[in-house]
Amino acid sequence: MEYIVLGIGGVLAVYLFDLVSLRKILYAKQVTEFMAVCLAVYAHIMVCIRGERLSLPFGLSYVGWPSFGLASLALIYSLFLEIPFKRTYVTGGAGNQLVTTGTYALVRHPWVLWYTLLLISLILISQRQLILLAAPIWLLMDVLHVWTQDRFFFPRMFPDYPRYQRETPMLIPNRTSIARCLTTFTEGWGLTNHLQTGEEHGHDHRVTQPVHVHVRDLGQ
């Protein structure tokens, strides 16, 4: 049970990360970020190796590994590649760019979707009772966290956040958001291919149309 509490502590450290980022407290952002990562990683590992085993077919672990890999890559992409890494996690203060394209066109907090898949994958892989108990608790804590971000933190960080709230669902994608997400990806790939083709032929392509700017803040 202590490992579940440590995982909750990791989520609370992320709450503190948001707060000190907004208040621009010197070095506190990096300290709370380090605490959150250490607590979360340790707690997730321990609940997967401790406690009684579940009576699940062994073959389910072979389903869990591919989904674990997919969820991990999606988490890395949404939390570290789509948003400005240095401004969000390294420099002092809060992030000041709002990402509304890519996976952030799908929902406002896409990493919660990937984290849900990650937890399901860990249950299938480890087949331990402790992770089965921890998963809904941690997921509920994370949903409460992003609700707090949505309600209290992000509207103060980003002037355009209310409009983003109206246009994009919080956690559950809809038909419009799925289409918008796919559109931003295909437009991005098309622009990249166009520029690469131009470079190969020695042409100078100057972008005259507005380009979607990837923006957002802290990793949720």
Q: What is the pLDDT of residues 155-190, one digit of tens each?
A: 988 899 999 999 999 999 999 999 999 998 888 665
pLDDT value at residue 94: 65
pLDDT band at residue 206 using 50, 70 and 90 as cut-offs:
very low
Cα angle at 12 between 96 and 34, to 5 degrees? 70
| Helix axis angle, 110-126 to 129-148, nearest 10° | 170
pLDDT value at residue 220: 38
**H or E segment and range at residue 21:** helix 2-23
pLDDT value at residue 1: 84
Give the lowest-confidence range in 15-29, 56-70, 104-118. 15-29
pTM of the shown model? 0.83
Beta-carbon count within 10 A of 67 CB: 16
In angstroms, the CA 204 to CA 135 distance is 52
In angstroms, the CA 2 to CA 9 distance is 10
Structural tokens at position 83:
């948003």
What does each C-alpha distance from 188 to 182, 194, 212 come to in angstroms? 10, 10, 8
In angstroms, the CA 103 to CA 212 distance is 13
Domains and CATH numbers, the chain: 2-200 (1.20.120)
Cα angle at 183 between 174 and 113, to 5 degrees? 45
Which residues contact residue 114 at a Cβ distance below 8 angstroms, ignoring those fewer than 6 apart? Answer: 71, 74, 75, 78
Spatial contact of 143 and 116, defined as CB atoms under 8 Å apart: no
The residue assigned the tokens 């923006």 is: 215
Calculate the average pLDDT of the chain: 85
- Strand segments, DSSP code E, in the chain are none
In angstroms, the CA 181 to CA 203 distance is 30
What does each C-alpha distance from 40 to 25, 100, 219 come to in angstroms? 23, 27, 14
Q: What is the mean pLDDT of residues 210-220?
A: 42
